Structure 1
């Protein structure tokens, strides 16, 4: 009756190994390996220490009345777009989070990095493989055994079993690989957050561009209609001889100048709609029906807290990503340095081999092998040292990139604060100027009707009013755009719980 596996291999391998003979044959190697185990088991290469930079205590820019240095409000910053109080914008952002291709790509990279982390972690454990074969052999009658009883003989060999290998991480190569893979995983998660921050800001800015261009287009169309009415009035005056043909031609020139600017505004509006659709993962033009109506420019919140530089540096995902890349580069030095030291692997195999299927599952068919393996690269013409040098320079580059990310973050916030404050000043000047231009046009029209001034004064007043109204519409959008850029510079739009990805 065939035996079970456990009957064939009782208490394998100790029961079946001549320990004294194994020690006698491999004694010197085992002594060396024991010494390595005692002095080793520590990771070579530098241990990572996060860089300590000293940011400014406060912002340099003129904060102004709309911006304060109160501590950042994480809840408000995580959903900063709700402070603009525009339901359509909120809807667009929600759809962008689910539909954006750039965000989906960043999410896929997180899953890839997580899988790579799993591969590195698996290297800590032994590998076990199973194999089996049935081979039919025949000895040539004209070969080496010609003329013997072996010539023409046939046989069938049945073979099956398991083999295992385990590389002992004496000098921390695997540990450093795991550290690097973990840092790369965290860097990919920070990249996801950075893409999310950028996406939300781009959606808001392009929606704001749509609203701004619609406002500018409305101003231009109203001016066109007003100027067309004036042309008809002047034409009637020319026909009855009350004014000259020159006034009519000047009025027509003014009208056509206004008309010529409308197609440019239509182009800018259409392009903003197309960019917005693509940001949502939709084809260009997909939002045209939804955005056909004129939407008012969202108003900036009354107050924005910017905190202090240290808060921003801790929050910005691009800085957090750069720091994780630096950690991964540091771990890579240890991986390269481990090549200077020997690697130690334990191998073992157990199985069955028989020339007869009937005898295959018997104890007499047992086979096994066990033993250590030592590999040490003693000469490689400087390859290992150069690899270590490359890893060191890559770490240096990563540190430089980290410092650059910090400086860019500080610059982004400072520039946004300045731009927001100065645009508010500019907007107020445009409001005052637009009111004066309206009064000037009314006076010019009254004086022209009374014959107290020429028609050129009316045309100049029209052009001045149109220019100021157009600039004011642009400034309204620019004020809110600068607030959006400020929210982005502060790292707004993500929460520490993201990304919870598959």
Structure 2
């Protein structure tokens, strides 16, 4: 927009000097006004995003407006930093993997508990009683009774039923193991997809930066040609439009990089940060 406003000022000055027709001024005004019209919706989206963040953090809308209204560079992190700071067992932070892991452990414990019923259980109960509360012969042997005797419990006649229960629990464990394995595979898929998206978008932004720089240089060159009367104003308009498209694509790509980085954090279960830059 800044370049378009400067061009509009240039065309007005040249028109006042009688060097260009009024059409050039009208076209430059159209170009800059069209770009300006795209700004209010962007501001509205920004306000809505800030309000959403405020509410999500348990506060009133506009609570974060003062903190976030100042324009700052989009935070970024290199793929190398992410790779160096990635622990091998980081996936275990994911709630779905933790749940599947606990369900598998619980199901596996049921097998041992059921198998234990196949074996005899030996208990040694005992009793001790004092039959007299008199002070003189309180601890005499005649006033104290006791009894001990082993007890054996064995579900020998329920062995078939217990073995069926063990088989059922083993089948349940196999099913829980399958769920656990599939949960891990799906988690790995999400991590791979998010890492690939992050890496590819970083490659894309490099190309877009080069394209935006080339478009900016083209605008400068064609503007100088226009000042010298060596090209018509349509070429200036075309180059400015190309610059706007490239800058918009670059800004979008940088935003996507941040979203892809959020996707990496999400796929890893959160609670992790890359190492600080040395």
Q: How high is the TM-score relative to the length of structure 1?
A: 0.40
Deviation string 1:80-109 (CA, Å, 9 cap, x unpaired) is xxxxxxxxxxxxxxxxxxxxxxxxxxxxxx
Contact in 1 for aligned 2:115/2:162 (Cα 8 Å): yes
- Larger helix proportion of the pair: 2
Corresponding residue of 2:206: 428
Corresponding residue of 1:415: 193
Contact in 1 for aligned 2:4/2:31 (Cα 8 Å): no
Deviation string 1:137-186 (CA, Å, 9 cap, x unpaired) is xxxxxxxxxxxxxxxxxxxxxxxxxxxxxxxxxxxxxxxxxxxxxxxxxx
Deviation string 1:295-350 (CA, Å, 9 cap, x unpaired) is 3233434834748x9x83x5542598566754543332111122334433322232
Deviation string 1:360-397 (CA, Å, 9 cap, x unpaired) is 99245534343333444466797644532332122112
Tell me, in whole angstroms, the C-alpha distance in 1 between the residues paired with 2:72 and 2:26. 40
- Larger strand proportion of the pair: 1
Corresponding residue of 2:118: 340
- Residue 78 of structure 2 corresponds to residue 298 of structure 1: no
- Residue 243 of structure 2 corresponds to residue 468 of structure 1: no
- Residue 54 of structure 2 corresponds to residue 267 of structure 1: no
Q: Helix, strand or coil: the match of 1:350?
A: strand
2:138 to 356, 362, 377: 362
Tell me, in whole angstroms, the C-alpha distance in 2 between the residues paired with 1:287 and 1:250. 34
Corresponding residue of 1:258: 39
CA 1:366–1:293: 2 relative to 1, 3 Å? farther
Contact in 2 for aligned 1:348/1:371 (Cα 8 Å): yes
Corresponding residue of 1:398: 176
Q: How big is the shift at 1:427?
A: 0.7
Contact in 2 for aligned 1:326/1:402 (Cα 8 Å): yes
Tell me, in whole angstroms, the C-alpha distance in 2 between the residues paired with 1:434 and 1:361. 107
Corresponding residue of 1:330: 108
Q: How many residues were matched structurally? A: 259
Q: Helix, strand or coil: the match of 2:125?
A: strand
CA 1:456–1:266: 2 relative to 1, 3 Å? farther
Contact in 1 for aligned 2:93/2:270 (Cα 8 Å): no
CA 1:484–1:250: 2 relative to 1, 3 Å? closer
Unaligned segments of structure 1, at least 5 residues: 1-222, 495-502
Tell me, in whole angstroms, the C-alpha distance in 1 between the residues paired with 2:187 and 2:39. 42
Tell me, in whole angstroms, the C-alpha distance in 2 between the residues paired with 1:256 and 1:328. 61
Q: Helix, strand or coil: the match of 1:351?
A: strand
Q: How big is the shift at 1:430?
A: 0.7
Q: How high is the TM-score relative to the length of structure 2?
A: 0.64
| Larger RCO (CA under 8 A, 6+ residues apart) | 1
CA 1:493–1:340: 2 relative to 1, 3 Å? same
RMSD between aligned alpha carbons? 4.8
Corresponding residue of 2:276: none
Q: How big is the shift at 1:463?
A: 4.6
CA 1:375–1:443: 2 relative to 1, 3 Å? same
**485-494 vs 467-476, which moves further:** 485-494
Tell me, in whole angstroms, the C-alpha distance in 2 between the residues paired with 1:374 and 1:257. 86
Tell me, in whole angstroms, the C-alpha distance in 1 between the residues paired with 2:199 and 2:24. 49
Corresponding residue of 1:317: 92
Q: Helix, strand or coil: the match of 1:436?
A: helix
Corresponding residue of 1:242: 22
